[in-house]
Amino acid sequence: MPAPVIDPQSSVPGGLRVGTPFQFQLALTEASDPATSWSVVGPLPPGFDFNTTTGLLSGTPTVSLVRSIQFRATNGSGTSAPVTVAFGVEDIRIGTQGMAELFLDLDTLKVWNPVEPTSYAPLKGVQGDKKLVSIGLVKGGELQDKVVSAIKVRMLNDEESTPFLLTAGGFEKIGGGISTRYVVLLDFTVAGVGQMIAEWEDPRSKGGYPFVQIEFTFLTPPPGASTPTLQPLTSLTFPAYLQAEI
């Protein structure tokens, strides 16, 4: 029985986007003998998983990138020649319409919802869902266009508990000047959400009010310096409404 032969034209994925789940099944040529295992050369991109038994590549990309990955198939007679597959993951492409919106004041570090400015909980989420949020940076009443390298959104049960991440690092800048927004994908499927709800007095209740922090990392010169460096800025902690999965 010869070594397996991977079909170089099999199911090359396209249109991958940050936050969008995908599956890509590697295949053998019609004349190939079966494979008993699969392998990947080098590290997978963030959010990717590879099943070495079935040859299924799947996951939810967390960062935009272009990368080539080599795969091999093996059976009792040997290992196939490597096949290289190129992947391109695009940023989230969506306007601000229809998504949650938050403003962060760069002077006070307060966060509010411009659609519901008096709401006790500016952000709302549902356990098990994923939610796009548009964040505007405000200074002196105007939206700011900043050089942002990273955005992290954290949730915590109360102000004394350990926060956990709702974001995986990916974001997209939309617009420019006084219409600039930064879009992130909040993942309410992460383990921290379920663990936090399990600690509630009545986990079967419809919802609760945890807290959220937003951290931006900017490329900016520090006071008295001319060389730009990465400077983190974290919002004040603010309440969110989280609906438990029923």
Q: Is it true that 16-90 and 100-243 share their CATH fold?
A: yes
State the Cα–Cα distance between residues 73 and 23, nearest whole angstrom. 18
Domain ranges of the chain: 16-90, 100-243
Which burial class, exposed, middle or buried, applies to 43 when counting CB atoms under 10 A from its CB (0-12, 13-18, 19+)?
A: exposed
The CATH number assigned to the domain with range 16-90 reads 2.60.40.10
- AA identity, residue 160: E
Q: Please choose, from the candidates 134, 164, 149, 159, the residue with its C-alpha nearest in 3D space to the C-alpha of residue 209.
A: 159
Q: Would you say domain 100-243 falls under CATH 3.20.20.330?
A: no
- One-character DSSP codes across 136-147: EEEETTEE----
Mind listing the pLDDT tens digit of every residue in the chain (246 residues)? 688 999 877 655 666 777 677 888 899 998 889 999 999 988 888 888 999 999 999 887 877 777 788 899 999 999 999 888 877 777 655 444 567 899 999 999 999 998 888 899 999 999 988 889 999 999 988 889 888 888 999 999 987 789 999 997 678 888 878 788 899 999 999 999 999 988 887 655 678 999 999 999 987 765 666 666 778 899 999 999 999 876
Q: Please choose, from the candidates 145, 156, 143, 155, the residue with its C-alpha nearest in 3D space to the C-alpha of residue 103.
A: 143
**Coil, helix or strand at residue 37:** strand
Kindly report the pTM of this predicted structure. Answer: 0.60
